[in-house]
Amino acid sequence: MAHHGRMRNVTVAWQPAAERFEALGGHALHPIHINAPHEGAATGFSPADLLLAAAGSCAAWDVVEILRKQRQQLSALSVSVHGRQGEGPPHEFEDVELVFEAAGRGLDPRKVERAVALSETRYCSVLATIRGVARVSCRVEVREAAV
């Protein structure tokens, strides 16, 4: 492992009574429960869903920051992340599509599309990592915020 750059540390601990894992990151007060693949009720996100959530939130944060710097009036942003996995083990993601829905007052659709493109190709660490395996694509829908 390279010894330069920023280190991130997460601890994942098995909770046998709950049949799930608990992940603790940099903010110990905010654990994430992760589902173990088993029959019965879900106990949290699955690891694969968590990867998609990480991709969506990482990319969306870049978009929020870029639009904020451009003084765009963003009032809502959601990202639907669709991942298609391979048939057999290890079921790697082959395609990941992020659909951004942005709303605001007088948003410039070109600026929103540019912010998404910058996140996708330059800033989002999660997308940069999974792009080595999966085809990543983004779509953008911009609407005027309801007054």
Q: Is the pLDDT of residue 143 over 60?
A: yes
Q: Is the pLDDT of residue 147 over 70?
A: no
HSE at residue 60, side-chain half, CA atoms within 13 A, is: 18
- Rounded to the nearest 5 degrees, what angle is found at the Cα of 81, between the Cα atoms of 26 and 145? 95
Task: Please say if the pLDDT value at position 2 is more than 70.
Answer: no
- Identify the pLDDT of residue 28: 82
Contacts of 116 by beta carbon, 8 Å cutoff, 6+ apart: 59, 63, 98, 100, 138, 140
| The pLDDT value given to residue 145 | 86
pLDDT for 39 beyond 80 = no
pLDDT band of residue 3 (cuts 50, 70, 90) is low
pLDDT band at 137 (very low <50, low <70, confident <90, very high): very high
pLDDT digits 0-9 by tens, 77-106: 999 999 999 999 999 999 999 999 999 999
- What's the one-letter identity of residue 137? S
